[in-house]
Amino acid sequence: QKEVEQNSGPLSVPEGAIASLNCTYSDRGSQSFFWYRQYSGKSPELIMFIYSNGDKEDGRFTAQLNKASQYVSLLIRDSQPSDSATYLCAVPSYGKLTFGQGTILTVHP
């Protein structure tokens, strides 16, 4: 089992819809979780982080964490074509980040 797993997609949603991106992790001791957005040909950009169970909202983004199920998700409300990118889930451990393979999101007009 991989340490961090994501569905590679592609996930396609219409403009204005909610995009839901999911990530599971294997280490029950993980305490924090990060979401990065990566546009094609660019480097990853940190967009959200969450440390405790429940939801964390920042603008159109909501991160949800369920430690019992070892599951973290990212919701993007009112999706825009500019949200089209690869979304990477990352878990820190002993100074390093372990990434999932990323989910490709396409928002079509």
Partner 1 sequence: DAGVTQSPTHLIKTRGQHVTLRCSPISGHKSVSWYQQVLGQGPQFIFQYYEKEERGRGNFPDRFSARQFPNYSSELNVNALLLGDSALYLCASSLGNTGREQYFGPGTRLTVT
95 part of the interface to partner 1, by CB under 8 A: yes
Name residue 24's amino acid. Answer: T
3-state helix vs strand vs coil in the chain, percent to 5: 5, 55, 40
8 Å CB contact between 53 and 101? no
Question: What φ, ψ does residue 69 adopt, rounded to 5°?
Answer: -95, 0
Least distance from C-beta 26 to partner 1, angstroms?
15
Q: Which is nearer to partner 1, 98 or 106 (CB)?
A: 98
Touching partner 1, residues 8-27 (CB under 8 A): 8
97 part of the interface to partner 1, by CB under 8 A: yes
43 part of the interface to partner 1, by CB under 8 A: yes
46 part of the interface to partner 1, by CB under 8 A: yes
8 Å CB contact between 33 and 90? yes
Residue numbers at the binding site for partner 1 (CB under 8 A): 4, 8, 32, 34, 36, 42-46, 49, 88, 90, 92-102
